[in-house]
Amino acid sequence: MSDAKKYWKARDRWWLADGIALIIGVFIFVGYATQLFAIFGIGYLAFVYLKRDRDSVFLDKNVAFLALAIFLSLLATGAGALAFDLPF
């Protein structure tokens, strides 16, 4: 069995968490419900950091701290002028 097949076979259990990360990323990138998805992003970051997934980039403390700072900034300030969810 090739290395790629072994990797994906080992990752079968976490497809839901990876899908949630994709949804969070898309909504934050688009700017729709940014503050709500920043909260979800903080929760996802805590989940990945606490489960200690060796394949995750968030296991590094510096990367996790920067991602937390970005999520907290989005939570406090919102998406900005180009967001879809601005009140009219």
Would you kindly state where each structural domain of the chain is located, as residue ranges? Answer: 3-77
For residue range 23-59, what is the model confidence (pLDDT) as tens digits? 998 988 888 888 899 999 999 888 877 777 666 666 6
Please say whether the dihedral angle defined by the alpha carbons of residues 50, 58, 74 and 33, taken in this order, is positive or negative: negative
Straight-line distance from the first to the last Cα atom of the chain, in angstroms, rounded to the nearest whole number: 56
Where is pLDDT greater, at 44 or 7? 44
Q: What are 55's two structure tokens?
A: 């394949």
Per-residue pLDDT for 70 more than 80?
yes
* pTM of the predicted model over 0.85: no
Per-residue pLDDT for 10 more than 80?
no
Helix axis angle for 61-77 and 34-51, nearest 10°, is: 160
Note the pLDDT of residue 39: 93
